[in-house]
Amino acid sequence: MKILNNSTSSLLTVFTLLFLFISTANAAVPIPAAPKVAAKNYILVDANSGRVLAEKEADVQVEPASITKLMTSYVIYNELDAGRLSMDDMVTISEKAWRMGGSRMYVEVDKQVSVHDLMKGLIIQSGNDATVALAEHIAGTERAFVDLMNQYAAKLGMTNTYFANSTGWPAEGHLTSARDISKLALAVIQEFPEHYAWYKEKVFTYNNIKQYNRNKLLWSDDSVDGIKTGHTESAGYCLVASAVRSDMRLISVVLNTESEKTRASVSQSLLNYGFRFFETHKLYAAGEVLNRSRVWKGESEKVSLGLLKDLYITIPRGSYGQLEAVMDVDANIVAPLDKGSQHGAVRVNLAEEEMLQTPLVALESVGEGSMFQIAKDHILQLFN
């Protein structure tokens, strides 16, 4: 296996990670361009590695329509997780919620409805009335709830997003981008998997009114398990879709198409492209010991090094054998060390091109050694 040297520091020792296979081929597997699709804005992302597989004007600010409700749901999930809200809580329906136009759950004014039922109405039926009722119940007013939405958007790094309401009803300045929506969708899927399961439900009946999920991919592709549609005259037809095939999850965000059929076909084309030409592998687990390194002047002579989070990589399908990984480990690691402190890096190359780099960190703390240990190591370092 080829050892890659780090030219930036003479204090770095390079070790190969032996479990990866190396091919004698020098060129990466060719990948065709993403399909040309009838959407003004889109992005296709691998959920585990975060690699963008295709995009078009993904950072342009556009109206999100009911895709907005993904953030409404995300705020509610955080309230449930914090214990400030329960699925069994009863919500009194205000006149404002009852009067909401567009897609509706058909709740009745002054009636009490459980959070559980309202969430079903929000997710499956995209009910504007259910959405406003939940927002008012949590924050007192929809305006106050929208403040929470924008705070969470900032926390998720949604730099092109501003919400003016909880539903996606057209409003001045109510904008986001395809890339920002992909960040939000990923957060919903990864942070709240038990709630995400509702996004694949096809039908919900409330008040003897049966309504169907507007995500048509749920009927045509068994690998699709969510996530949200949206439509207004000004935003066009939008769809955030996610699918899993062979443990590989992709997220597609398609905005501003001309019809329900188009948003579904565009999303399907992007997902098929991603699954056909790419594959994702988990290389190392968070906390896995990748190296035991010498520590100078410490209460322990060794420290375990590894990664803070699972390391995934998305590569052209069929090119796994061309992967090469190396560790650049600091040669002079001196105590005291804090758990999580960086002492090198893991780099992964494909056909001699660097694909990713991630910090190599201490998996435990190492305190300063005794005076004798410090003095002894000082002398040994001089000789080294």
114 noted as active-site residue: no
- Residue 336: asked if its preceding bond is cis (omega within 30°), the reply is yes
The two three-digit tokens of residue 179, written as one number = 């890339």
Nearest to 52 by CA among 292, 330, 314: 314
Catalytic residue among 66, 265, 269, 304: 66
d(CA 114, CA 132): 14
Other residues' Cβ atoms within 10 Å of the Cβ of residue 187: 20
Q: What DSSP string runs through 183-210? A: HHHHHHHHH-HHHHGGGG--EEEETTEE
> Is residue 267 among the annotated active site residues?
no
Question: Helix, strand or coil for residue 230?
Answer: strand
Asked whether 139 and 132 are in contact (CB, 8 A), the reply is no
Strand 41-46 relative to strand 248-257, pairing? antiparallel
The pair of structure tokens assigned to 61 is: 């600010």
How many whole angstroms separate alpha carbon 95 and alpha carbon 108? 9
How far apart CA 51 and CA 185 sit, in angstroms, is: 15
Query: Is the separation of the CB atoms in 48 and 252 below 8 Å?
Result: no
Q: How far is CA 201 from CA 114, 127, 137, in A?
A: 18, 15, 25
Q: Cα-flanking dihedrals φ and ψ of residue 347, to 5°? A: -120, 135
Beta bridge partners of 46: 250
Query: Which residue type sits at 186?
Result: L
Render 120-179 in DSSP notation, one character per residue: HHHHTS--HHHHHHHHHHHHSSHHHHHHHHHHHHHHTT-TT-B-SSSS----TT-BB-HH
Active site residue 73: no
Candidate list 49, 73, 126, 177, residue with the active-site label: 126
Token duo for residue 313: 């990589």
Amino acid at 302: K
Among the options 49, 69, 177, 216, which is catalytic? 69
Q: In sequence order, what are the beta bridge partners of 153?
A: none
Q: Which residues are catalytic?
A: 66, 69, 126
